[in-house]
């Protein structure tokens, strides 16, 4: 943990977008000794979070920026470019203001209009899911942040992340979209796959599918994180083409969309297993036939 004498000066923080992420990060900065002075948002939920979690009322964006040293731009990705361009076009005084956005897909380029107006740009993306509940703050502790910042500001970016309890991971500007795609592919699609599997199990009479899947998924995730592709188990890596074909046929009968996803993921799994030497070429060919005879990607 950074010593107090090594920390940057205490900052006045404004949260422009007091949603789940903004309220959690604002609270984390407050606990690190900074001072949340203003918040902005459009929904009733944002207003409640600002009052209950940050201890401030709502302000206009220009008022918020005038009062703050550090501004968290915690708005949806699709809103961010227009917000930044609008602030710059409106002549809001951004000189010397630390603008921190939390988008995973965007880097510093989205802040260019503000940077040209004198702002200091940071991209600090917490690699965590936020639900708006009290445990959001606990989840920040120890989580990684995808960080992109100009070289002279890298020590400041690192200090802010560490103060919030996170671990900075440096991501090059040109790699932000790839970085975020990898995270979304793992986390978001995992939720979809699990929810789909739970629904299929309920459909055949399994009353508590979460209890059935929980231990299996916990072990599979642990294996994947520790061992990578070497932790793979199941019919694809065993080359059980007959079982794979039965899976596809069964899913086609009850959930055709899930069958399409199964085929695509089974092909990717076989491709990775083949490249890693876990699956023999002849077994891969049998799997290819079972999956419909399409060529490997």
pTM of the model: 0.87
Contact 100/124 with Cβ under 8 angstroms?
yes
The pLDDT of residue 9 is 64
Structure token digits, residue 153: 């500001």
The pLDDT of residue 295 is 41
- Any idea what the Cα angle at residue 4 is, between residues 155 and 119, rounded to 5°? 40
CA 295 to CA 291: how far, in whole Å? 10
How many CB atoms neighbour CB 211 within 10 A?
Answer: 9
Contact 235/286 with Cβ under 8 angstroms?
no
CA 237 to CA 63: how far, in whole Å? 59
Contact 100/164 with Cβ under 8 angstroms?
no
What are the CA-CA distances from residue 282 to residues 13, 151, 253, 254, 287 (Å)?
61, 51, 29, 31, 9
Which parts of the chain sit beneath pLDDT 70? 1-9, 293-297
CA 272 to CA 266: how far, in whole Å? 10
Q: What is the Cα gyration radius of the chain? A: 24
CA 121 to CA 144: how far, in whole Å? 19
Structure token digits, residue 281: 């070429």
Structure token digits, residue 183: 């995270």
214: Cβ contacts below 8 Å, ≥ 6 apart: none
Contact 192/116 with Cβ under 8 angstroms?
no
How many CB atoms neighbour CB 268 within 10 A?
Answer: 13
CA 158 to CA 262: how far, in whole Å? 41
The pLDDT of residue 2 is 41
pLDDT in tens, 176-224: 999 999 999 999 999 999 999 999 999 999 999 999 999 999 999 999 9
Domains, the chain, with CATH or none: 4-171 (3.40.50.720), 179-290 (1.10.1040)
């Amino acid at each position: 943990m950074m010593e107090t004498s090594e920390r940057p000066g205490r900052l006045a923080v404004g949260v422009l977008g007091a949603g789940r992420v903004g309220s959690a990060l604002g609270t984390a900065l407050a606990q690190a000794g900074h001072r949340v002075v203003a918040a902005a948002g459009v929904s009733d939920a944002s207003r409640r979070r600002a009052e209950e979690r940050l201890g401030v009322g709502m302000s206009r964006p220009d008022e918020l920026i005038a009062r703050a040293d550090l501004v968290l731009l915690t708005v949806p990705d699709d809103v961010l470019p227009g917000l930044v361009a609008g602030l710059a076009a409106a002549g809001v005084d951004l000189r010397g203001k630390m603008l921190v956005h939390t988008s995973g897909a965007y880097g510093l380029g989205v802040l260019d209009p503000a940077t040209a107006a004198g702002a200091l740009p940071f991209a600090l993306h917490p690699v965590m899911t936020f639900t708006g509940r009290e445990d959001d703050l606990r989840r920040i502790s120890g989580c990684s942040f995808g960080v992109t910042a100009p070289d002279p500001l890298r020590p400041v970016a690192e200090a802010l992340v560490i103060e919030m309890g996170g671990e900075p991971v440096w991501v090059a500007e040109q790699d932000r979209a790839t970085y975020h795609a990898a995270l979304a592919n793992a986390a978001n699609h995992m939720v979809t796959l699990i929810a789909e599997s739970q629904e299929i199990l309920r459909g055949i009479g399994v009353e508590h599918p979460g209890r059935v899947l929980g231990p299996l998924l916990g072990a599979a995730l642990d294996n994947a994180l520790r061992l990578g592709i070497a932790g793979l188990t199941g019919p694809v890596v065993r080359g059980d083409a007959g079982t794979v074909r039965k899976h596809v046929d069964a899913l086609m009968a009850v959930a055709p969309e899930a069958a399409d996803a199964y085929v695509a993921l089974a092909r990717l799994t076989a491709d990775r297993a083949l490249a890693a030497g876990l699956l023999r070429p002849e077994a891969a060919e049998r799997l290819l036939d079972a999956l419909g005879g399409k060529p490997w990607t």
